[in-house]
Chain A
Amino acid sequence: MYNLYARWIREGRLKPDSSWNNDLKIKFTVQDPCQIVRKTFGDPAAEDMRLVVKACVGEENFIDMAPNRSNNFCCGGGGGFLQSGFKEERLLYGRTKDEQIQATKAHYCVTGCHNCHAQIHELGEHFGGGYHAVHAWTILGLALGILGESERVHLGEDLQEVNLPESSG
């Protein structure tokens, strides 16, 4: 999907504006989903994802994990792990990812996959990293100025009021 988000931004069909973050300087990182990057489309998909996120939050507010792209670590949410009942092992598996995210000092990790989203959200709470897991559509919506109040469940306190569209109420 973010191959398309990236294409639509390149074509001018979507015009995200990162100026909301010029002064806030809130830092973002991305989780490269194994299924989409390493297993399917390769590094070009990872570049597309970065293009989208940087367009939304500002290039200087994006921090990559190490390692990344096709060499990234799995978060531990894939392959059915989330539903397997092995919670202890799943969180232990995710410790690698948690340390990677914490090392970036980013407040937000953009997750382009539902399994990654659920797992990284839980990792942030379990290990106390305090970062948030957000869908790509949330960040894109924020930068497009179309993200409504009720659509900010996964955003922290710092972004509840930022770039809110005009409502009827």
Chain B
Amino acid sequence: MAKDVIKLSGKRKSAFKDMVMGLLPDGGNLNACLTCGACCSGCPATGFDGMDPRKFLRMAALGMDDAIKESRWPWFCTMCTRCVHVCPMEINIPQLVFNARKLTPRDKVPKGILGSCDMALSKPTNSAMGCSQEDFEFVVGDILDEIKEEYPIWEERNLVAPIDKKGAEFFINQNSREPMIEPEEMGPLWKILNLAGVDWTYGSVGWAAENYCMFMADDDGWKELTQRSAEKCDELGCKTFLNTE
């Protein structure tokens, strides 16, 4: 038995759930829960802070908007969508979670996520780790030279790692972790692309692959970062935007 009895007032008020339903096709089926619990039994975040996906949805349905706003659980859910995958009614709980993150006041957003989003927005490179374009170009050139020096075959095979090559087929992004922490991890990808005969380029703007504004549910920031990359890709005339993952 639950410790506290939830008392409902006569008037139904679920402003949060209704707002999210308005955003989703078929309202994300948020009113269709059979309370079967398949979502919870297959969710690694079940039980954290006494919460689980079904409970979160039921709280929204009951209009417990204040409790949802206070909950840390939306930051423990990774929005992996396994709950939707197993749900007989395909209820979009992750979208409920995404929008619950939006309810978090800026000063209550986990600092690491906020910092990563702000840092990316402050750099034309989109790097959440603050990698500047100068540093990126230096590291890429440095690693390319090292590879060719140690393995001369790559000089013969003309290994390249172009930045802003106009008309390349692929515009490829790169997680900041490589240039910043493990630069030698970039080499294998360049070599694979070389062997496959692929025409590709990095961009001087928007090359960083991570997007923490998206995780923060900051739609404007998410859009800004994505737009920078997409516009650079278009400007270079690249046919395909390719994520390294």
The docked-state distance in angstroms from the alpha carbon of A28 to that of B110 is: 35
Contact check: which of B76, B185, B189 meets A153 at CB < 8 Å?
B185
* CB-defined contacts of A84 to chain B, threshold 8 Å: 75, 110, 112-113
Q: How far is the CB of B90 from chain A (nearest CB, A)?
A: 13
Check A146/B195 contact, CB under 8 A, given A71-B85, A135-B185. yes
Q: A168 to B152, Cβ gap below 8 A?
A: yes
B78, B82, B111, B153, most chain A CB atoms within 10 A: B78
Determine whether B149 belongs to the interface, using a CB cutoff of 8 Å to chain A: yes
* CB-defined contacts of B147 to chain A, threshold 8 Å: 148
Q: B187 to A73, Cβ gap below 8 A?
A: no
Q: A93 to B48, Cβ gap below 8 A?
A: yes
* CB-defined contacts of A153 to chain B, threshold 8 Å: 182, 184-185
The docked-state distance in angstroms from the alpha carbon of A166 to that of B150 is: 9
Task: Return the chain B residue nearest A81 by Cβ.
Answer: B78
Determine whether A89 belongs to the interface, using a CB cutoff of 8 Å to chain B: yes
Q: A93 to B45, Cβ gap below 8 A?
A: yes
Determine whether B10 belongs to the interface, using a CB cutoff of 8 Å to chain A: no
* CB-defined contacts of A5 to chain B, threshold 8 Å: 192
Contact check: which of A79, A118, A165 meets B78 at CB < 8 Å?
A79
Contacts between chains A and B (CB distance < 8 A), count:
149
Task: Return the chain B residue nearest A152 by Cβ.
Answer: B184
* CB-defined contacts of A165 to chain B, threshold 8 Å: 151, 153
The docked-state distance in angstroms from the alpha carbon of A100 to that of B14 is: 38
Determine whether B165 belongs to the interface, using a CB cutoff of 8 Å to chain A: no
Query: What bracket does the count of chain B residues touching chain A fall in?
Result: 35 or more
Check A83/B113 contact, CB under 8 A, given A144-B192, A168-B151. yes
Contact check: which of A80, A96, A112 meets B110 at CB < 8 Å?
A80
Query: What bracket does the count of chain A residues touching chain B fall in?
Result: 35 or more
* CB-defined contacts of A85 to chain B, threshold 8 Å: 110-112
Contact check: which of B80, B209, B212 meets A114 at CB < 8 Å?
B209
- 0/1 per residue, A61-105, Cβ < 8 Å to B? 000000000111110111111111110010011111100000000
Stretch at the interface among B16-24, B61-69, B227-235, B237-245: B237-245
Interface residues of B in 173-206 (CB under 8 A from A): 175, 177, 182, 184-185, 187-189, 191-192, 195-197
Q: A79 to B82, Cβ gap below 8 A?
A: no
Task: Return the chain B residue nearest A14 by Cβ.
Answer: B196
Determine whether B77 belongs to the interface, using a CB cutoff of 8 Å to chain A: yes
Q: A167 to B212, Cβ gap below 8 A?
A: no
Check A14/B113 contact, CB under 8 A, given A38-B82, A81-B78, A166-B151. no
Check A79/B44 contact, CB under 8 A, given A114-B245, A146-B195. no
Q: B44 to A83, Cβ gap below 8 A?
A: no
- 0/1 per residue, A105-130, Cβ < 8 Å to B? 00000001110001000000000000
29 pairs of residues in contact across A and B, judged by CB atoms under 8 Å: A1-B243, A1-B244, A1-B245, A14-B192, A14-B196, A34-B80, A38-B80, A38-B85, A71-B85, A73-B82, A74-B82, A80-B110, A80-B212, A80-B216, A83-B113, A83-B115, A83-B215, A84-B110, A85-B111, A86-B72, A89-B45, A92-B48, A138-B188, A140-B188, A140-B192, A144-B192, A146-B192, A151-B184, A165-B151
Question: Assuming A97-B44, A146-B192, A151-B184, what are 15 further A-B pairs, CB within 8 angstroms?
Answer: A1-B243, A14-B192, A33-B245, A73-B82, A76-B44, A78-B79, A80-B212, A83-B110, A83-B215, A85-B110, A114-B175, A137-B192, A141-B191, A148-B150, A150-B146
Across the A-B interface, the 8 shortest Cβ-Cβ residue pairs: A80-B215, A74-B80, A79-B78, A83-B112, A141-B188, A84-B110, A78-B78, A34-B80
